[in-house]
């Protein structure tokens, strides 16, 4: 085995040629082996080489891409007859050489669900939410003494801790639902006190955005009614900060060591209920054409179909007039008999009518005896809240484009003894009369609010 021309056995049991053995044997390169460019002149090897044949055994434990990067930087110049593609492993998509996987993990996003945008949150309408709120805890006080050269008795200089942040409910007009409100909120805690009489920083206030018309309850008691834009309510107070030993300095105690910890924040369980705030509320039985009528008179786009209970959440549309006045009309989901007893989610739908200033009763003229629809609707409203059915209202007879509807119009007016606005949401017939009547009801509401010294609702 010591002779240069002898054959050697590889790990697989095959014999290597003398040329390959000479290639794998490390030897010192002389100055004559370097060309003008300073690169080592490697002898041409007619045998196809692999990546393991080119690299010495002491480097075989390193990563192949790391070693190949060093070779590519000028350690070896390949002969003209040997292509570099024969030395590299074949890959479908070439990638740049790197020393590790740090670059791959640098831009990797943490796992988890992405937050929904406000546009998607509007599709998930929520009008009731249970929230656990905790105020931020106060910071602890510091117990330390002043230290200074040539001053033996510096005295106490421990600062007080910062107060915890409050959790505040704030009305935002851009929020239309309680879907963005989480189930738990924790306020920001205050920082601890420091030396040199430095007090800790107080915790910042945490604001929760809620829509206009949010009712705050604790148990069965109503504690706040957020019905105007910009209204705020402190849902949970932050804890007070602790006192440092400087606070306990007295004539009879010149070196106090006492300090107090911060107090925990207030913890409460609140129930948030949303009652839609609008000028007019449309009331009717399922499949009476309320959503179709709202799509015609405003830019709202509620779902419309030929089956009942298509609308499961209130929709608010804005009616624009020539004098730049805006009137909000709410489409309340269909009410059935026994709604005041919570049949068909009646209580969830009826509570949105409490804040409507006047009502629009929509009856289906295609059904026989349409006046019975109005009687049942007023009965359900009166059972839910006394005086709700006696608010200013107008009766709308929809689907006048059908032949049987025109035959039921005259008996309806004779039975009620008042004007009925007959129209068609499908063809747009007689919509102008409805818009003019809405303007009359709105002007009467504004005049009544100003006469009482109150500010009318503006959109």
Q: Are 264 and 300 found together in one domain?
A: no
Please state which of the ranges 144-148, 221-225, 295-299, 344-348 shows the lowest mean pLDDT: 344-348
| Cα 96 to Cα 173: distance, rounded to the nearest angstrom | 51
User: What's the pLDDT score for residue 119?
Assistant: 47
CA–CA distance, 168 with 326 (Å, rounded to integer): 30
CB-based contacts of 43: which residues, under 8 Å, 6+ apart? 23
Indicate the residue among 104, 136, 157 that finishes a domain. 104
Would you call 115 helix, strand, or coil by DSSP?
coil
Percent of all residues in the chain with a pLDDT value above 70, rounded to a whole number? 73
For residue 210, the model assigns a pLDDT of 94
Q: Is the pLDDT of residue 411 over 60?
A: yes
Band (365; pLDDT cuts 50, 70, 90): very high
Confidence (pLDDT) at 125: 74
Same structural domain for residues 132 and 270?
A: yes
Same domain, 45 and 100: yes
Instruction: Clarify whether residues 264 and 314 are in a common domain.
Output: no
Asked if 420 and 412 count as a contact pair (C-beta separation under 8 A), the reply is yes
In this predicted structure, the answer to whether residue 24 has a pLDDT above a threshold of 70 is no
Which of 36-45, 321-330, 388-397 bottoms out in mean pLDDT, i.e. has the lowest? 36-45
- Cα–Cα dist 54/86, whole Å: 12
Domain boundary among 274, 303, 320: 274
The answer to whether residues 363 and 373 touch, using CB atoms and an 8 Å cutoff, is: yes
User: Mean of the per-residue pLDDT values for the chain?
Assistant: 78
The backbone torsions φ and ψ at residue 340, rounded to the nearest 5 degrees and listed phi first, read: -70, -15
Residues 354 and 269 in one domain: no
HSE-up of residue 168 (Cα within 13 Å, Cβ side): 15
- Say if 301 falls within a structural domain: yes
Give, to the nearest 10 degrees, the angle between helix 371-384 and helix 403-416.
60
Position 109 scores a pLDDT of 43
Token output for 450? 């100003």
Indicate the number of domains in the chain.
3
3-state secondary structure 231-270: CEEEEECCCCCCCCCCCCCECCECCCCCCCCCCCCCEEEE
Q: What is the mean pLDDT of residues 164-178?
A: 92
Same domain, 70 and 170: no
pLDDT confidence bin for 8, thresholds 50/70/90: very low
Quick one: residue 444, left, alpha or beta (phi over 0 = left, psi -120 to 50 = alpha)? Answer: alpha
Distance CA 196, CA 244 (A): 11
- Residues 269, 318, single domain; the answer is no
Contact 156, 256 (CB under 8 A): yes
459 part of a folded domain: no
Q: In what order do the strands lie in the sheet with 206-210?
A: 206-210, 167-171, 232-236
Poorest-pLDDT segment among 77-86, 130-139, 418-427, 450-459: 77-86
Q: Which residue has the higher pLDDT, 287 or 29?
A: 287
Model confidence at 392: pLDDT above 70: yes
Task: Spell out the residues 6+ positions from residue 395 whose beta carbon is closer than 8 angstroms to its own.
Answer: 361, 363, 374, 416, 418, 419, 420, 421
Residues 132 and 248 in one domain: yes
Question: Where a domain ends, among 246, 274, 302?
Answer: 274
Round to whole Å and give the CA distance between 242 and 459: 46
Confidence of residue 300 (pLDDT cuts 50, 70, 90): confident
Judge if 310 and 418 occupy the same domain. Answer: yes
Which residues make beta-bridge pairs with 360?
282, 394
pLDDT tens column, 241-256: 999 999 999 998 888 9
Phi, psi of 104 (to 5 degrees): -70, -35
What is the predicted pLDDT for the residue at 110?
Answer: 46
Q: Are 232 and 172 in contact (CB under 8 A)?
A: no
Of residues 9 and 419, which shows the higher confidence score?
419
- How many angstroms separate the CA atoms of 351 and 347, rounded? 6
Q: How confident is the model at residue 113 (pLDDT cuts 50, 70, 90)?
A: low
Give mean pLDDT, residues 317-339: 88
Q: How many angstroms separate the Cα of 68 from the Cα of each of 150, 284, 416?
A: 66, 78, 94
pLDDT for the residue numbered 135:
96
In this predicted structure, the answer to whether residue 364 has a pLDDT above a threshold of 80 is yes
From 223, 215, 278, 276, select the one nearest 456 (Cα to Cα). 278
Mean pLDDT of 135-157: 89
% of the chain surpassing 90 pLDDT: 41
- pLDDT tier, 231 (very low <50, low <70, confident <90, very high otherwise): very high
Q: What is the pLDDT of residue 115?
A: 57
Residues 261 and 321 in one domain: no
Q: How confident is the model at residue 334 (pLDDT cuts 50, 70, 90)?
A: confident
Structural domain boundaries, residue 22: 2-104
pLDDT in tens, 35-89: 444 444 444 444 444 444 444 444 444 444 444 444 444 444 444 444 444 444 4
Three-class SS of residue 64? helix
Q: Report CA-CA distances (Å) from 433 to 120, 330, 421.
A: 36, 19, 7
- Co-location of 68 and 18 in the same domain: yes
Of the two residues 1 and 206, the one the predictor is more confident about is 206
Task: State which of 50-54, 105-109, 127-131, 234-238 shows the largest mean pLDDT.
Answer: 234-238
């Amino acid at each position: 085995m010591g002779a240069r021309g002898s054959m050697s056995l590889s790990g697989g049991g095959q014999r290597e040629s003398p040329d390959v053995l000479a290639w794998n044997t490390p030897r010192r390169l002389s100055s004559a082996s370097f060309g003008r460019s300073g690169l080592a002149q490697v002898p041409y090897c007619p045998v196809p080489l692999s990546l393991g044949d080119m690299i010495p055994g002491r480097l075989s434990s390193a990563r192949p891409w790391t070693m190949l990067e060093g070779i590519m930087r000028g350690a070896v110049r390949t002969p003209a007859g040997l292509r570099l593609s024969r030395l590299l492993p074949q890959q479908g998509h070439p990638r740049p050489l790197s020393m590790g996987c740090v670059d791959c993990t640098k831009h990797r996003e943490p796992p988890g669900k992405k937050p929904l945008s406000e546009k998607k949150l509007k599709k998930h309408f929520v009008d009731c939410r249970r929230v656990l709120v905790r105020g931020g805890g106060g910071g602890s006080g510091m117990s330390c003494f002043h230290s200074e050269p040539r001053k033996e008795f510096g005295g106490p200089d421990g600062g007080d801790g910062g107060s915890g942040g409050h959790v505040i409910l704030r009305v935002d007009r851009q929020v239309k639902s309680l879907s963005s409100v989480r189930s738990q909120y924790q306020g920001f805690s205050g920082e601890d006190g420091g030396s040199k009489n430095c007090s800790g920083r107080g915790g910042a206030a945490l604001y929760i955005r809620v829509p206009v018309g949010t009712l705050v309850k604790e148990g069965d008691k109503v504690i706040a009614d957020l019905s105007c834009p910009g209204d705020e309510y402190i849902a949970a107070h932050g804890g007070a900060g602790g006192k440092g030993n400087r606070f306990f300095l007295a004539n009879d105690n010149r070196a106090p060591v006492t300090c107090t910890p911060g107090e925990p924040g207030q913890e409460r369980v609140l129930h948030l209920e949303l009652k839609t705030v609008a000028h007019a509320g449309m009331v009717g039985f399922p499949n009476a054409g309320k959503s179709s009528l709202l799509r015609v008179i405003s830019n709202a786009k509620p779902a419309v179909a030929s089956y009942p209970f298509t609308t499961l959440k209130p929709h608010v549309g804005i009616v624009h007039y020539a004098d730049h006045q805006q009137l909000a009309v709410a489409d309340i989901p269909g009410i059935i008999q026994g709604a005041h007893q919570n049949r068909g989610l009646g209580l969830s739908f009826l509570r949105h009518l409490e804040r409507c200033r006047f009502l629009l009763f929509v009856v289906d003229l295609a059904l026989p005896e349409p006046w019975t629809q109005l009687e049942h609707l007023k009965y359900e409203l009166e059972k839910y809240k006394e005086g709700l059915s006696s608010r200013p209202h107008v009766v709308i007879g929809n689907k006048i484009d059908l032949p049987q509807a025109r035959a039921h119009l005259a008996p309806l007016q004779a039975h009620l003894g008042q004007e009925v606005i007959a129209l068609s949401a499908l063809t747009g017939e007689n919509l102008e009369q409805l818009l003019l009547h809405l303007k009359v009801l709105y002007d009467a509401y504004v005049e009544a609010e100003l006469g009482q010294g109150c500010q009318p609702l503006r959109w």
